[in-house]
């Protein structure tokens, strides 16, 4: 079993909790309140800008020009996807841009920025991986299960894109390669980072579902 | 009114919410469950190590050797306080060290690390200020109001220390000086950072009070 | 006079020293020894990888998604140009890849990486600007003056590219915008950074011309 | 042979070049021109401020609170030594403070700042080690060999200090421990960083000896 397969095993309970989350269920059946979807898309747009920054930091720290280019292209893509959200879904679902990160988005983005600033590239890569990988798997799941007549159909269909699939494959290969060159101590940190970011994925959906806001 | 006085005005509702929080109340009356106090001290120890790292980052970025030395000494002090917790309160209140940050501690420390990595020194200084300033004010408040016979007396008394008072005064002077040299845009970012970190102070007490743990 | 025009005035003596440098002269007349040209191209390839990292760091620190995307695209382009060097000139001029940075390349790249790690985005932008701007101006100068029959013709012609011209224009606009929002202290640091990086441009040509190597 | 002993073997030619350098020789015989000594002290003061920043960055990135505290104390000490230079030698030898780094100081400090920003703690530790270690060894050598009646006697005597000796021992122990936990790839980067910083030590003395200034 290669390193990323082990990572996936580790987070099985978290992944199951995401698949069984009310947000995912109501998205597939089309019953998700539009205010909930709006919250999600708003926070996703804020998330993507910082996700791109985290990838830029990995690009700055990567040992080879090839890896640096790879992370730079991921960073560019994250912002282009963020723009796509604005140009398509903000219009389509009548969403106002939000400038304030809510708790889960705040915790997740700061974790990624702090980790990619202060930890090694290998650990940083493990931290950004769940956003690629879990998102793809959840996306495929939703795509397969969602009912045809669904107000969120247009958004669900973007998951079928092959471009994103390729990114995930590249990101998995990078992570496995980093793990091979890492010492056991560093591999443990990679596992911790992957698990933490996976947990934050769940919180991201959960905050949207509960339209969670700051208490003070 | 100088800049830091404005900052304090801005966070009045948050500060009031902290003073009126059940944690503070029960600490003063001695009714705080020991498990709650343990949670608080455990998370505080984890917090201080990263708070020290944030101060190290400000030391690395400060423009002058004087400011750099100041932040270095704050960083050193934060770790020495963390050690003091271990040597005194972990023993006194029979507390086991905890290695996992709970949600509020996690969000707060990653915010400080990300901000001091990526924002200007002035904005970073505004972000670390609440931990100095609010802590001193809450500490004085608790010290004045707490009943004499209190299982937490020994810990409450540390608040009366003059060494910490001097640090807060120095940190306020630094922040006012940075604000004077900052552009209006940067001053706005300083205000946002101060407000956000103040909010995270409230969450820190609130997580302890509710012994909040990760949901997945 | 806008800010970047002032910057250009400041470095007039350095710019003149570059235009009058033996490297530039011999390149235009085609008399430049091929070993000198090889040294230059080898160091340029090493420079570009780190220049890209510096731009990634600015992308990570930029305040808006638009600016972040801009720096990300500059970063991507720098690596693509580096690859172009390998695919075209390393083959054409029979150049072996070099892995060791010589003194000027070493000083310049570490300066850019340290500045974009530790200083504000505005100062970092001023530090990366000379590589865009001086390069374009020197390139145009060489393109206009170079004799037709020139072993370096193919390389000189790349200077006429409009894509690079657009990048320089964008980078100038960014720098002027950052300067407008900057405090006077920060503007001074921008000026210092621009002057220092311009000086390092001269050293880069001079190291190539003298095929300078480490003394120990 | 432990890791740091291997490091020392690697740099034998550089270390010999330092011991045999005119600067060291003339310092011991007291024939060093006072303008040369002034240049050296001025640059050393500028160096130490940035050396302290580099150590603060390692403190921010260190995995444990103990290591973080250790680097913080080294950082503090570097600034205190810088202040000592001002208070003692600037007065004693009538030296004006200099604000501009000359080439070797510039290259060395930017290298340390970039490396401690972007590389792992282990590699950063290897990069700051020569300033501790070579300095101690050269200091002992000068102290033993220097003639009694020497205008630089007061400065030479500081080398005999035991406080600095302890720092070097701690720094060596840290580096060996980091090397043990590092993967082979990372150990190679540690070796490269140690060698490069050792080379920059030689340049630092050489710039002083030649009172080297920027050419443009």
| Closest chain A residue by Cα to residue B117 | A117
For chain B, domains (ranges, CATH) are: 3-210 (1.20.910.10)
B123: closest CA of chain D, how far (Å)? 18
Question: What are the C-alpha distances in Å from A206 to residues A46, B63, D146?
Answer: 16, 42, 72
Q: Quick check: B59 and D65 CB within 8 A? A: no
Q: Quick check: A60 and C60 CB within 8 A? A: yes
Which of C42, C52, C53, C87 best tests the A interface by mutation, with the highest count of A CBs <10 A? C53
| Pair of tokens at residue A116 | 């990619």
Which is nearest to A181 in space by CA: A67, A54, A51?
A67
| Closest chain B residue by Cα to residue C120 | B120
Pairwise pLDDT comparison (A136 vs A155), residue with the higher score: A136
Per residue in A115-144, pLDDT (tens digit) is: 999 999 999 999 999 999 999 999 999 999
Q: Is the pLDDT of residue C141 over 90?
A: yes
From chain D, pick out residues whose CB is under 8 angstroms from the CB of C16: none
Q: Is the pLDDT of residue C99 over 90?
A: no
**Weakest-pLDDT range from B16-25, D10-19, D164-173:** D164-173
A31: closest CA of chain D, how far (Å)? 46
From chain A, pick out residues whose CB is under 8 angstroms from the CB of D181: 183, 185
Q: Could you give the CA distance from residue D81 to residue D58 in angstroms, rounded to a whole number?
A: 19
From chain C, pick out residues whose CB is under 8 angstroms from the CB of D47: none
Q: Could you give the CA distance from residue A156 to residue B140 in angstroms, rounded to a whole number?
A: 54
Work out how many CB contacts closer than 8 A connect B with C: 16
D204: closest CA of chain A, how far (Å)? 27
Q: In which band, very low, low, confident or very high, does the pLDDT at C91 lie, cut at 50, 70 and 90? A: confident
In angstroms, how far is CA D215 from the centroid of its own chain? 25
| Pair of tokens at residue D199 | 């080379």
pLDDT at B91: 87
Out of B107, B117, B203, name the one closest to residue A113 (CB).
B117
Burial class of residue C76 (count of CB atoms within 10 Å of its CB; 0-12, 13-18, 19+): buried
Q: In which band, very low, low, confident or very high, does the pLDDT at C93 lie, cut at 50, 70 and 90? A: confident
Per residue in D79-101, pLDDT (tens digit) is: 999 898 888 888 888 898 888 99
C169: closest CA of chain A, how far (Å)? 20
CB A202 within 8 A of CB A18: yes
| Closest chain D residue by Cα to residue A58 | D118
Question: Which percentage of chain A shows pLDDT scores above 90?
Answer: 84
Q: Is the pLDDT of residue A162 over 80?
A: no
Count of C-beta atoms within a 10 Å radius of residue A105: 26
Q: Is the pLDDT of residue C31 over 70?
A: yes
Which is nearest to D84 in space by CA: D27, D45, D140, D137?
D45
CB D63 within 8 A of CB B74: no
What stretch of H or E contains B119?
A: none
pLDDT at B93: 86
| CA angle at A89 for the pair A85 and A90, rounded to the nearest 5° | 90
pLDDT at B160: 65
Mean pLDDT of C159-182: 90
Out of C53, C110, C214, name the one closest to residue D199 (CB).
C214
Mean pLDDT of A33-40: 96
| Greatest pairwise CA separation for chain C in angstroms | 50
Q: In which band, very low, low, confident or very high, does the pLDDT at C37 lie, cut at 50, 70 and 90? A: very high
Contact residues, chain D to chain B, C-beta under 8 Å: 49, 52-54, 56-57, 59-61, 65, 68-69, 71-73, 75-76, 79-80, 82-83, 113
Query: What DSSP letter does each residue of B65-83 carry, written as one string?
Result: HHHHHHHHHHHHHHHHHHH
Contact residues, chain C to chain A, C-beta under 8 Å: 49, 52-54, 56-57, 59-61, 65, 68-69, 71-73, 75-76, 79-80, 82-83, 113
Count of C-beta atoms within a 10 Å radius of residue B1: 7
From chain B, pick out residues whose CB is under 8 angstroms from the CB of C120: 120
Mean pLDDT of D198-209: 98
| Closest chain C residue by Cα to residue A50 | C60
CB C68 within 8 A of CB C59: yes
Q: Quick check: D60 and B65 CB within 8 A? A: no
Sign of the alpha-carbon torsion through A65, D116, B86, B151? negative
CB B189 within 8 A of CB C120: no
Q: In which band, very low, low, confident or very high, does the pLDDT at A160 lie, cut at 50, 70 and 90? A: low
The phi, psi pair for C151, rounded to 5°, reads -60, -20
Pairwise pLDDT comparison (A85 vs D80), residue with the higher score: D80
pLDDT along chain B (216 residues), means of 10: 97 98 96 96 96 98 97 96 87 88 98 98 98 94 91 82 86 98 95 98 98 98
């Amino acid at each position: 079993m290669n390193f990323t397969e082990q990572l996936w095993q580790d987070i099985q309970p978290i992944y199951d909790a995401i698949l069984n989350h009310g947000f995912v269920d109501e998205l597939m059946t089309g019953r998700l309140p539009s205010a909930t979807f709006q919250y999600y898309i708003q926070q996703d747009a804020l998330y993507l800008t910082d996700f791109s920054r985290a990838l830029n930091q990995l690009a700055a720290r990567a040992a080879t020009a090839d890896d640096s280019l790879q992370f730079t292209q991921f960073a560019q893509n994250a912002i282009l996807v963020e723009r796509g959200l604005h140009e398509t879904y903000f219009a389509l679902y009548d969403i106002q841009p939000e400038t304030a990160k809510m708790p889960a988005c705040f915790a997740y983005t700061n974790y990624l920025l702090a980790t990619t600033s202060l930890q090694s590239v290998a650990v940083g890569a493990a931290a950004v991986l769940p956003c690629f990988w879990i998102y793809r798997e959840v996306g495929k799941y939703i795509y397969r299960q969602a009912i045809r007549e669904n107000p969120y159909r247009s958004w669900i269909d973007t998951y079928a894109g092959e471009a994103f699939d390729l990114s995930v494959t590249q990101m998995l290969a990078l992570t496995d390669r980093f793990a091979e060159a890492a010492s056991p101590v560093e591999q443990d940190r990679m596992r911790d980072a992957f698990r933490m970011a996976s947990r934050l994925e769940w919180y991201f959906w959960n905050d949207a579902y509960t339209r969670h806001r700051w208490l003070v």
